[in-house]
Chains A and B, each alone.
Chain A
Amino acid sequence: MARPARPILSLQAATFGERQLSTTTTRIDLELPRGGITLVQVDDEIDAAALVDLCIGLTAPTDGRVRFLGVDWQSRGPREQLMRRRRIGTVVQTHVWPAHMNVFDAVLVARFYHFDRPRAEVIAEATALARLFGLPGLPVGRRETTPRRALIRAACVRGFLGAPDLVVVQDQALEATADLAVPMAQAIAEALDRGATVLWIVESLAAEAARFVTPDQVFRLGDQGLVQVRRR
């Protein structure tokens, strides 16, 4: 008998330390099956960012376990955590970019120096993603001289670049960008086709950018943890 596919990310009774809009300790049980997309509605942006950090192993749960590809983040050292985190693409904090390098380098630097793919190949993939998201190419200016519209799209390129196993999306500015609805749906569809998993944490299930996405499971983060809801 075939064993059920191991979830790519699982949170088992994982608890937040403190939440912004709740006085209770929230226990989260969540499993992301491979090749699926999950929508999680989180009302508060800080809670949403905390959930992202929990999922990608940047913070440890006060209780419970968070496993990525079957391995508990806390059972590995910082270096191995870093190695495993390379397999996760994140579209978060689209307004935050390093001050000491331009956007082009900020998008590609990890792919240039931590992977052994040819440079031209990486640039070609990034350019294709940039054009999918409505840019002629990757922006080459610094963050302060690059239009906000281009920064959001460059963040999308950074998240989907390199065929990550898990893509985590969480950004309110992106949610409100209606122009990104079609490109995001296309990028997610391509990622799912190659077996990736997508976790999109939204402030509202009616987010403009996510309106063409058909999730496999939809949750809402309440006081008592994740509650499965139906998307209208």
Chain B
Amino acid sequence: MARTPKPASRTMTRVVAAFSGAGRPNSGRAGLAEPSWRIWLRRALPVVGVVAVLALVSAIAYYVYDSNRRGAIVLSNDLITAIDRRVAVQMQAYLAPAQQFLELAVAATHGRDVADGGAEAERLALSALATVGPVTGFSYADPGGNFQFVVRNEQGGYDTKTIDVRDGGRRVTWVRRDAAGKVIATETDPADTFDPRTRPWYQGAEQSKQPFWTPTYLFFTVKKPGISFAIPTYDAEGKLQNVLSVDIELATLCVFLKQLGIGVSGKALIIDNQGRIVAYPSDDWLPADRPDVATPMLDELGDPVLTRVYNRLRVEGYGRQVLDIGERRIIVSSEPVKMLTGRNWVVLIVVPETDFVGFVVDSGWAALVMSIIIVLIVAALTGLMAWRSVLADRRAAAAATRQQALELRTQAFVDLAQGAATDEGLAGENLQGATESAATACDAKRVAIWRFTSDRRALVCEDCFDRAVDDHTAGLEFHRDEMPNLFAALDKGTPIDATDAGRDRRTAELFTTYLQPLGLSRVYLAPIVAAGQTIGLLSVEDPRQGDRAAGLATFCDALSTLLALRFTAAIPGSAAPAAVAAALPPPAEERPPDSFLQRQARLERTLLQQGAVLEELREASVDRAAVGVVKLPTWTSVTQKPSDSEQRTAMDAIVQELSLSIEKSGATYAALLDDQIVVAAFSAHADSIGENARCVATALLALRDRLITFEDDWGTNLDFRLALDVGTVMVSTVGTEPPTRTLWGGALGVAKVLAAAAGRRSIAASETAYEVLSEDFLFRARGSYFLPETGTMRTFVMVGRT
């Protein structure tokens, strides 16, 4: 519909531009708006700051960790070097007295055999051994097999064992002494088979012809691991004269190694240059009951670390290195210790790197975690500040939006008021301008202005503007019978703001019949009240919600007041033509000339196909009967006993009430068939069809209203439907006394079909019923359908009386 733009429309153009932001460069407030990049920069800066601080803290933590680690490694190297030296010094201090003692003993025996030098050597041993700590025994043997052995006993004294094999005999004598050196027993041991010439110390010294250190072995007498130091003596001709030896228990050295604190789990051990273990920091590393067992090699202890160390030492030689074993880094130090006698032993120190630098890692992590916690706290505070900033922005934006909406509505209202002040008032194009202005100002899909009819039974649409199609309609009617709750609410004169119209009892009927088909759910209804009485309605359908809805109610109320002023001043009936047009039946060219005749023709044709002739059925049929069908609620919903009635069930109460209504209606026929009540009115005269149809229509409206009342009273949902048809029905007489008639077929079947397909609580009507009743009753078109019984037929919903 093309129209000359009105001031209100021009205002709305500005409104739309302002809402959409198209006019911002020209508006003062919008022109000062902060650029979006700056807003994002402002919001992102705290985040960037937090990220930067986090990165800085991480870098510092890494630097501190790395430098601490390097320092700890240097310190650990120094420590290991110190331990190396300490072990070397300890060994020197441990072994040197024994060596010196033996050299004195060699000088004392002076190359003599045991028989000659034994007494002197025994005296020396008994007097000196107590002062030479690590030496537990002194051996003196000659090539003839004679042997003297002085050994410390459990009482703290010294026993002397002598083996004399001179003259081909063998005599083994033990002299036992107490701690004071007093001889307490002398005994012989004929079972002793000891031969010093088979012992490692003797054989080693004899073979090497020089002072000889044995490997670690198990002492025969005391059954303890130890080493022996032996010195052979030769005459001028190079003939072996004797061999002297001292036994040194390694228990003291093992205890010393065990007590060394090297990191947390590090250990030091002494090995010879072949990798065989000399001393190990453990008490039971060599089996005490197996004198034949040699001391193990490094790779025979079952320790993977020592095995790797052994392999590396064999390949790379001595030195200090760090081995990666699994996920661990092991520091290995293997420094040779030059013994007094020239024998090379190695002090091997094995310690995990974490024992020295682990505290650096732990403290680094702790520092990093604490730093991160501080950063997170700072980030949370920053985020809180940023969020508050965003909230403030939103509130400012919302306030600006609300302010804008209010200003625009105010301007729209001013324009409307100016339009209303013209000679034409709020009628014609001014009325259309009002709906357009209201629709745009409220950002609603549709805005309509309704006016009560003089009998206040219906609301007629004066003008409705649909923004989606940008067009106006008029003439639609809402009937009080159709929407009793809405009319009751409007009569009170209070606005209705239904966010979900389908759930609001006041607007549920409006939603079902009007809003839902349009796809709308929210509606604001402002009654137009004059002199305390509602005379119309302003409906704003699907208005914008949120901040842009600010002032909506005030605007609508003000607009309804303006409309009330104009309605009361306007000439009665000036807006009526549209409403009258809506009440008129559809244009004649869209209707069949006579739907009843069409149905009759189709019925005749159908009957002929069945071998029957309509004319011959005249006596068994009624030509034009008005038939109403009430499809009663689902039986399970009406089995309860009503609280306000003496009846057994709700259905009894319904049937009772309906029978009274039917009796009052003057219907010719009524029957309860299963869950349907059939009401019919007919007569022999065809010209009384109008009267009969009105009778049944009135009865159906009464029944509908009564059932709605039941719903309200019982607070339940009675799923009832009604239908009305006018047409031929068959009549059969049942031979009772007096005879009763039963209706069947024809219009009764059509009415049943219409009732089954009708909407809840509505009265469906056939085209023939509409044609007969349209002058007196209000109908709404419901669509055309093809029914085999009638052919193509328009259907309607009967709303109420006109």
Q: Complex Cα distance A172/B795, Å?
A: 28
Question: Across the interface, do B757 and A145 meet the contact criterion of CB distance under 8 Å?
Answer: no
**Which of A131, A146, A147 is close to B753, meaning CB atoms less than 8 Å apart?**
A131
Please encode chain A, from 111 to 135, with 1 for each CB lying within 8 Å of some chain B CB and 0 for all others: 0000000000001100100110011
Q: A131-B757, A136-B785, A137-B788 are in contact. List 14 more A-B contacts (CB 8 A).
A: A123-B786, A127-B788, A131-B753, A136-B753, A137-B786, A137-B787, A138-B785, A139-B786, A140-B785, A140-B786, A140-B792, A145-B783, A147-B517, A150-B783
- Of the A-B pairs whose beta carbons lie under 8 Å apart in the complex, a sample of 17, sorted by A's number, is A127-B788, A130-B785, A131-B753, A135-B785, A136-B753, A136-B785, A136-B787, A137-B785, A137-B787, A137-B788, A138-B785, A140-B785, A140-B786, A141-B783, A145-B783, A146-B783, A150-B783
Which residue, of B517, B753, B782, B783, has the highest number of chain A Cβ atoms within 10 A?
B783
Q: How far is the CB of A176 from chain B (nearest CB, A)?
A: 12
Q: Mark B774-792, 1 if CB is under 8 A from A, else 0.
A: 0000000011111110001
Q: Which 9 A-B pairs have the closest CB atoms?
A: A137-B785, A137-B787, A136-B757, A140-B784, A137-B786, A136-B753, A138-B786, A140-B792, A141-B784
Q: In the complex, what's the smallest C-beta–C-beta distance from A59 to chain B, in angstroms? A: 31
* Shortest distance between the CB of A147 and any CB in chain B (Å): 6
Given A145-B783, A146-B783, A147-B782, check contact A135 B788 (CB 8 Å).
no
In chain B, positions 347-396 with a C-beta closer than 8 Å to chain A are none
- 1/0 per residue, CB under 8 A from B, across A154-197: the answer is 00000000000000000000000000000000000000000000
Q: Are B754 and A136 in contact (CB under 8 A)?
A: yes
Cβ-based interface call for B756 (8 A): yes
Give every chain A residue within 8 A of B754 (Cβ-Cβ): 136
Cross-chain contact A134 with B783 (CB below 8 angstroms): no
> Which residues of chain A are within 8 angstroms of B782 by Cβ–Cβ distance?
147
Which B737-792 residues sit within 8 Å CB-CB of chain A? 753-754, 756-757, 764, 782-788, 792
Nearest-Cβ distance from residue B753 to partner chain A, whole angstroms: 5
A104 within 8 A of B: yes
CB atoms of B792 and A134 under 8 A apart: no
CA–CA, A175 to B613, complex, Å?
A: 47
- Closest-CB distance, A157 to chain B (whole angstroms): 11
Q: Give the Cβ gap from A162 to chain B, nearest Cβ, in Å.
A: 17
Total interface residues on B, CB under 8 Å, equals 16
Would you give the 0/1 interface string for A4-42, flagging 1 where the beta carbon is closer than 8 Å to chain B? 000000000000000000000000000000000000000
Residue A76 interfacial (CB < 8 Å)? no
Chain A residues near B784 (CB, 8 Å)? 139-141, 145
Report if A95 contacts B (CB, 8 A).
no
Contact A135 B757 (CB under 8 A): yes
- A111, chain B: closest CB distance, angstroms: 14
A231 at the interface (CB under 8 A from B): no
User: Which A residues touch B788, using CB under 8 A?
Assistant: 123-124, 127, 137
Q: How far is the CA of A130 from the CA of B784 in the complex (A)?
A: 13
Q: A148 near B785 (CB under 8 angstroms)?
A: no
Q: Quick one: closest B residue to A108, CB to CB?
A: B786
> Chain A residues with Cβ under 8 A from B785's Cβ?
130, 135-140, 150
Contacts of B753 in A (CB 8 A): 131, 136-137
Q: With the chains together, A22 CA to B517 CA distance in Å? A: 35
Chain B residues within 8 Å of A135, by CB: 757, 785
Within 8 A of B (CB), among A80-133: 104, 123-124, 127, 130-131
List, in ascending order, chain B residues with CB within 8 A of A104's CB.
786
Cα(A127)–Cα(B785), bound, Å: 10
> What is the bound-complex CA distance between A150 and B781, given in angstroms?
13
Report the nearest A residue to B750, measured CB to CB. Answer: A136
A135–B753 alpha-carbon span in the complex (Å): 8
Chain A residues in the interface with B (C-beta under 8 A): 104, 123-124, 127, 130-131, 134-141, 145-148, 150
Q: Which of A127, A134, A141, A148 contacts B787 (CB 8 A)?
A: A127
Residue B756 contacts which of A124, A127, A134, A140 (CB distance < 8 angstroms)? A134
Find chain B residues with CB under 8 A from A146 CB.
Answer: 783
Complex-state Cα separation, A134 to B719, whole angstroms: 14
What residue of chain B has the Cβ atom nearest to residue A130's Cβ?
B785
Shortest distance between the CB of B262 and any CB in chain A (Å)? 58
Residues of the B chain whose Cβ atoms lie less than 8 Å from the Cβ of A130: 785
A120 to B787, CA, bound (A): 12
- CA A63 – CA B783 in complex, angstroms? 47
Give the complex CA separation of A137 and B757 in angstroms: 9
Q: Is B783 a contact partner of A147 (Cβ separation < 8 A)?
A: yes
A148 lies within 8 A of B786 (CB): no
CA distance A104 to B756 in the complex (A): 20
Could you tell me the distance between the alpha carbons of A135 and B786 in the complex, rounded to whole angstroms?
10
Query: A136 vs B723: C-alpha distance in the bound complex, in angstroms?
Result: 11
B104 shortest CB reach to chain A, Å: 91
* Complex interface: chain A residues within 8 A of B795 (CB): 136
Query: What separation, in Å, do the CA atoms of A146 and B786 have in the docked complex?
Result: 13
Chain B residues with CB under 8 A of A138: 785-786
Given the complex, which residues of B lie within 8 Å of A123, measured CB to CB? Answer: 786, 788
The residue of chain A having its C-beta at the shortest distance from the C-beta of B757 within the complex is A136
For B723, give the chain A residue with the smallest CB separation.
A136
- Report the bound CA distance from A140 to B592 in whole Å: 14
Tell me the complex Cα distance, A222–B642, Å: 52
Which residues on the A side are within 8 Å of B793 (C-beta)? 137
Query: 1/0 contact trace for B513-532 toward A, CB 8 Å?
Result: 00001000000000000000
Contacts of A150 in B (CB 8 A): 783, 785
How far does the Cβ of A154 sit from chain B's closest Cβ, in whole Å?
10
A126 to chain B, nearest CB (A): 9
Quote the shortest CB–CB distance from A151 to chain B (angstroms): 10
* Closest residue on chain A to residue B756 by CB atoms: A131
Closest chain A CB from B598 CB (angstroms): 13
- How many whole Å from B350's CB to the nearest CB in chain A? 54
List A contacts of B757 (CB < 8 A): 131, 134-136
| Min C-beta distance of B415 to chain A, whole Å | 36
Query: Which chain B residue has the least Cβ–Cβ distance from A134?
Result: B757
A148 to B757, alpha carbons, bound, how many Å?
A: 15
* Most chain B CB within a 10 A radius of its CB, from A135, A147, A150: A135
Separation in Å of the A123 CB from the closest CB of chain B? 6
Of listed B756, B786, B788, residue having the most chain A CB within 10 A: B786
State how many angstroms separate the Cβ of B502 from the closest Cβ of chain A.
Answer: 13
On chain A, the residues within 8 Å of B787 by CB distance are 127, 136-137
Chain B residue numbers with a CB within 8 Å of A139 are 783-786
Which residue in chain B gives the minimum CB-CB distance to A146?
B783
Most chain B C-beta atoms within 10 Å of own C-beta, residue among A137, A138, A148 = A137
The distance from the CB of A161 to the nearest CB of chain B, in whole angstroms, is 14
Chain B residues within an 8 Å CB radius of A145: 783-784
In the bound complex, CA of A57 to CA of B697 (Å) = 53
CB distance from B762 to the nearest CB of A (A): 13
Bound-state CA distance A148–B756 (Å) is 18
Q: List B contacts of A124 (CB < 8 A).
A: 788
Q: How far is the CA of A145 from the CA of B784 in the complex (A)?
A: 9
The chain B residue sitting closest to A135, CB to CB, is: B757
Q: Which of B61-81 contact A (CB under 8 A)?
A: none
A139–B795 alpha-carbon span in the complex (Å): 10
Query: From residue B749, how far is it (CB to closest CB) to chain A in Å?
Result: 11
How far does the Cβ of B445 sit from chain A's closest Cβ, in whole Å? 17
Q: How far is the CA of A69 from the CA of B658 in the complex (A)?
A: 56
Closest to B758 in A: A136
In this complex, which of B517, B756, B788, B795 has the most chain A Cβ atoms within 10 angstroms of its Cβ? B788
Q: Could you mark each residue 591-612 of chain B with 1 if its beta carbon is under 8 Å from any beta carbon of chain A, else 0?
A: 0000000000000000000000
Cα A5 to Cα B187 with chains together (Å): 107
Instruction: Give A145 to B795 CA distance when docked, in angstroms.
Output: 13
- What is the bound-complex CA distance between A74 and B151, given in angstroms? 105
Is A148 a contact partner of B517 (Cβ separation < 8 A)?
Answer: yes
In angstroms, Cα B783 to Cα A135, docked, is 10
Q: How far is the CB of A21 from chain B (nearest CB, A)?
A: 25
CA distance A140 to B792 in the complex (A): 7
- In the assembled complex, the CB of A86 is this many whole angstroms from the nearest CB of chain B, namely 23
CB distance from B444 to the nearest CB of A (A): 22
Q: Which residues of A sit under 8 angstroms from B783, Cβ to Cβ?
A: 139, 141, 145-147, 150
* CB neighbors of A among B254-284 (8 A): none
